[in-house]
A and B are shown apart, each in its own frame.
Chain A
Amino acid sequence: MTTDFKMRADYQEYFSPAHERVRRSVREFVRKAVLPHIDDWEEAGAFPRELYRQAAEVGVLGIGYPEQLGGTPGDIFFKIAATEELMRAGSGGLVAGLGSLDIAIPPIVRHGTADQQARFVTPVLAGERVAALGITEPGGGSDVANLRTTAAREGDHYVVNGSKTFITSGCRADQVTVAVRTGEAGARGISLLVIEKGTPGFAASTPLKKTGWWASDTAELFFDGCRVPVANRIGAENEGFFLIMENFAAERLALAVMANMTAQLALEEAERYARSREAFGKPLTGFQVTRHKLVEMATQVEVSREFTYRTAARVDSGRDATRQVAMAKNFACGVSNRVTYDAVQIFGGYGYMRDYPVERMMRDAKITEIYEGTSEVQRMVIAGALLK
């Protein structure tokens, strides 16, 4: 028997030359198709629908999905490289809006029938249809198991009544993966239905006005006697809760990546500004107070990013990473809020002006501590794993 003993650790690089090419390609897409317009889209509160099709053409939407559904399978770092480069547009709202399919279609990819996948996955990956996920309700967000929207079976239809809120891409979604109550109280009475735009009894609000993420549309959805074919149910009846939980790790990890990237961009902006802005006869980088602030920001961002990558590798290997994902998300979102706040401070009055990107970054950072499970809920998850 031999023991494989090494004197040095294998230092793993997460990104290969192939990952770098995906990064390069998405960066080029952002430079040409997004950056010239992003400020206008942010102010308008939406980006053009056409961008879904363009992103699909570049292959951005399909990364990580099966080939037979129109995707391009690959390890998790392909998705991370693409997300990081999309974030270079400087708009979390754009990335959340373009990426709403990543929360809406994974249950269909994992548990949908071939017919459901042909109707609800392939056209979405092709950028022809917009998909959203509807879980949160006006009366409850994090407490998913107690949602109140009902779906009563009537022959080969469900009759859905209730409402959902804070639904990303909700205004223009062609299809919403909606969590409904089909059975007993609690987690074991929930099912997932795909409800299509235009179904009688289904209506969406106008876009809700938000602190940040302006370029993504966020809606309240209403279901009033909305008849949904049983053929649109994903997976078995009353097992929807577990389908939702399955995707939480990927969703939260994506939020951590976005939060880290928002912090990274704010750091880059602050560093550039501090080099050029002069006060009392020297650049801001000549003052120890600024130097130390930048050092602290850079350290936070780098540490956070590394832990997120480590956690991503764990998720990709198929090991349980519930605790680590919650930690990565909380840490990254905390860093993002602190670093964007400090970046605005370095910019002074200009940082408070809409003409400067750090103003948007600070607004965009806040939602990451709330979206996909608040920081408090993440702590519940971590405590549950730590103190069981």
Chain B
Amino acid sequence: MKIIVCVKQVPDTTEVRLDPVTGTLLREGIPSIINPDDKAGLEAALRLKDRYEAHVTVLTMGPPQADLALREALAMGADAAILLTDRAFGGADTWATSSTLASALSALEYDLIITGRQAIDGDTAQVGPQIAEHLGIPNISYAEDLRIEGNTVVVRRQYEDRSHILRAEMPCLVTALSELNEPRYMTPRGIFEAFRDRTVKILTRADLAIDDGNIGLKGSPTRVMKSFTKAVRGKGTVVELDARDAAGWIIERLQEKFVL
């Protein structure tokens, strides 16, 4: 079985701090990490590898330093890594990103593609399903459990108040939730091998059979009208009451504010 996991290198938002004066994000010196949902997707792939001897390739699109995210994936146990990097890919929205990734994927062999549900720096949750659409394969999103049965993938798909069990024939694409698993640690041995012995395959614009109109800034129909930092609201009040008293307490507060 051949699995390709799409990952994104993102700033570790748990380490991002706000400038106390301007209220803007302080990005300097913030470490980059593999997007958490993608990492869970990678772990799911590695577990399938442990069980079925699957071959796992990680794929990312990004600047040259995204190489580090791929090496982390190799250190965890991925078999191969591909970096899509070119200035022509810069400024891509989800459409251009998914078009570019799908173009690279269409030249590769796969039974299963796994992506994270969404990236913590963009939160669109669009790239995975769009890749499936470009490739014309089934997509199951929000996977909180995943297993293989014959030539099908069985996924428990998370909803707010329920879950669905869905089955799709391979090849197909699954988007993973962080809740899917607890990703393994990189071991020092894995890290040494990833940094010393392994190669990351680099693909550029010239390697893809895709129109200019579908890549980079030019291929991105999304226009960001305005970007702003939400005003920080006051801290909430925490009260610990049992359900009945809590309901009464909330009603009183709402009445005080003339909401009710």
- On whether the beta carbons of A21 and B189 are closer than 8 Å, the reply is no
Instruction: Knowing A16-B195, A72-B192, A74-B192, say if A21 contacts B187 (CB, 8 Å).
Output: no
- On whether the beta carbons of A18 and B192 are closer than 8 Å, the reply is yes
Please choose the segment from A56-64, A264-272, A379-387 that sits at the chain B interface, where 4 or more of its residues have CB less than 8 A away: A56-64
Give, as a whole number of angstroms, the nearest-CB distance from A75 to chain B.
10
- On whether the beta carbons of B188 and A78 are closer than 8 Å, the reply is yes
- On whether the beta carbons of A25 and B195 are closer than 8 Å, the reply is no
Residues B66-124 near A (CB distance < 8 A)? 68, 71-72, 75
Residues B155-189 near A (CB distance < 8 A)? 185-189
Give chain A residues whose Cβ lies under 8 Å from the Cβ of B195.
16-18, 21
Q: How far is the CA of A25 from the CA of B71 in the complex (A)?
A: 13
- On whether the beta carbons of B188 and A74 are closer than 8 Å, the reply is yes
- On whether the beta carbons of B72 and A72 are closer than 8 Å, the reply is no
Q: How far is the CA of A98 from the CA of B189 in the complex (A)?
A: 19
- On whether the beta carbons of A22 and B188 are closer than 8 Å, the reply is yes
Give chain B residues whose Cβ lies under 8 Å from the Cβ of A57.
185, 187
Most buried by B among A18, A28, A63: A18
Residue in contact with B71 in the complex, picked from A17, A59, A63, A72, CB distance below 8 Å: A17
- B191 in the interface, Cβ–Cβ < 8 Å? yes
- On whether the beta carbons of A21 and B75 are closer than 8 Å, the reply is yes
Give chain A residues whose Cβ lies under 8 Å from the Cβ of B72.
21
- On whether the beta carbons of A72 and B187 are closer than 8 Å, the reply is yes
Q: How far is the CA of A57 from the CA of B185 in the complex (A)?
A: 9
The secondary-structure label for the interface of chain A is: helix
- A41 in the interface, Cβ–Cβ < 8 Å? no
Give, as a whole number of angstroms, the nearest-CB distance from A55 to chain B.
10
Give chain A residues whose Cβ lies under 8 Å from the Cβ of B194.
18, 21
- A277 in the interface, Cβ–Cβ < 8 Å? no
Residue in contact with A28 in the complex, picked from B68, B75, B185, B196, CB distance below 8 Å: B185
- On whether the beta carbons of B185 and A22 are closer than 8 Å, the reply is no
Q: How far is the CA of A24 from the CA of B47 in the complex (A)?
A: 22
Q: How far is the CA of A279 from the CA of B68 in the complex (A)?
A: 46
Chain A residue at minimum C-beta to C-beta distance from B72: A21
- On whether the beta carbons of A25 and B187 are closer than 8 Å, the reply is yes
- On whether the beta carbons of A72 and B185 are closer than 8 Å, the reply is no
Give chain A residues whose Cβ lies under 8 Å from the Cβ of B191.
18, 21-22, 25
- A29 in the interface, Cβ–Cβ < 8 Å? yes
Q: How far is the CA of A59 from the CA of B192 in the complex (A)?
A: 12
Q: How far is the CA of A57 from the CA of B194 in the complex (A)?
A: 18
- On whether the beta carbons of A58 and B187 are closer than 8 Å, the reply is yes
Q: How far is the CA of A67 from the CA of B195 in the complex (A)?
A: 17
Give chain B residues whose Cβ lies under 8 Å from the Cβ of A18.
191-192, 194-196
Residues A1-49 near B (CB distance < 8 A)? 16-18, 21-22, 24-25, 28-29
Give chain B residues whose Cβ lies under 8 Å from the Cβ of A60.
188
Instruction: Tally inter-chain residue pairs, CB-CB below 8 A.
Output: 50
Give chain A residues whose Cβ lies under 8 Å from the Cβ of B31.
24
Chain B residue at minimum C-beta to C-beta distance from A63: B188
Give chain B residues whose Cβ lies under 8 Å from the Cβ of A63.
188
Q: How far is the CA of A122 from the CA of B188 in the complex (A)?
A: 17
Q: How far is the CA of A22 from the CA of B193 in the complex (A)?
A: 12
Instruction: Knowing A16-B195, A74-B192, say if A21 contacts B185 (CB, 8 Å).
Output: no
Give, as a whole number of angstroms, the nearest-CB distance from B197 to chain A.
11
Chain B residue at minimum C-beta to C-beta distance from A79: B188
- On whether the beta carbons of A62 and B188 are closer than 8 Å, the reply is yes
Give, as a whole number of angstroms, the nearest-CB distance from B178 to chain A.
14
Give, as a whole number of angstroms, the nearest-CB distance from B132 to chain A.
31
Give, as a whole number of angstroms, the nearest-CB distance from A85 to chain B.
12
Chain B residue at minimum C-beta to C-beta distance from A19: B191
Q: How far is the CA of A62 from the CA of B190 in the complex (A)?
A: 13
Q: How far is the CA of A263 from the CA of B190 in the complex (A)?
A: 31
Q: How far is the CA of A57 from the CA of B187 in the complex (A)?
A: 8
Give chain A residues whose Cβ lies under 8 Å from the Cβ of B192.
18, 72, 74
Q: How far is the CA of A74 from the CA of B187 in the complex (A)?
A: 13
Give, as a whole number of angstroms, the nearest-CB distance from A170 to chain B.
28
Give, as a whole number of angstroms, the nearest-CB distance from A80 to chain B.
13
Give chain B residues whose Cβ lies under 8 Å from the Cβ of A21.
71-72, 75, 186, 191, 194-195
Give chain B residues whose Cβ lies under 8 Å from the Cβ of A82.
188
Instruction: Knowing A18-B195, A21-B195, A74-B192, say if A59 contacts B187 (CB, 8 Å).
Output: yes
- On whether the beta carbons of A59 and B68 are closer than 8 Å, the reply is no
- On whether the beta carbons of A24 and B186 are closer than 8 Å, the reply is yes
Give chain B residues whose Cβ lies under 8 Å from the Cβ of A62.
188-189
Give, as a whole number of angstroms, the nearest-CB distance from A17 to chain B.
6
Give chain A residues whose Cβ lies under 8 Å from the Cβ of B75.
21
Give chain B residues whose Cβ lies under 8 Å from the Cβ of A17.
68, 71, 195
Give, as a whole number of angstroms, the nearest-CB distance from B194 to chain A.
8
Give, as a whole number of angstroms, the nearest-CB distance from B195 to chain A.
4
Give chain B residues whose Cβ lies under 8 Å from the Cβ of A25.
185-188, 191
Chain B residue at minimum C-beta to C-beta distance from A21: B191
List 11 interface pairs A-B (beta carbons < 8 Å), by A numbering: A17-B71, A18-B191, A18-B192, A18-B195, A18-B196, A21-B191, A22-B186, A24-B31, A25-B188, A58-B187, A74-B192
* 11 more CB-based (< 8 A) A-B contacts, given A18-B196, A59-B185: A17-B71, A18-B191, A18-B194, A21-B191, A25-B188, A58-B185, A59-B188, A59-B190, A60-B188, A74-B192, A78-B188
Residues of chain A having any CB pair with chain B under 8 Å: 16-18, 21-22, 24-25, 28-29, 57-60, 62-63, 67, 72, 74, 78, 82
Give the 9 A-B CB pairs with smallest separation, nearest first: A59-B187, A18-B195, A59-B188, A72-B188, A25-B186, A72-B189, A21-B191, A58-B185, A25-B185
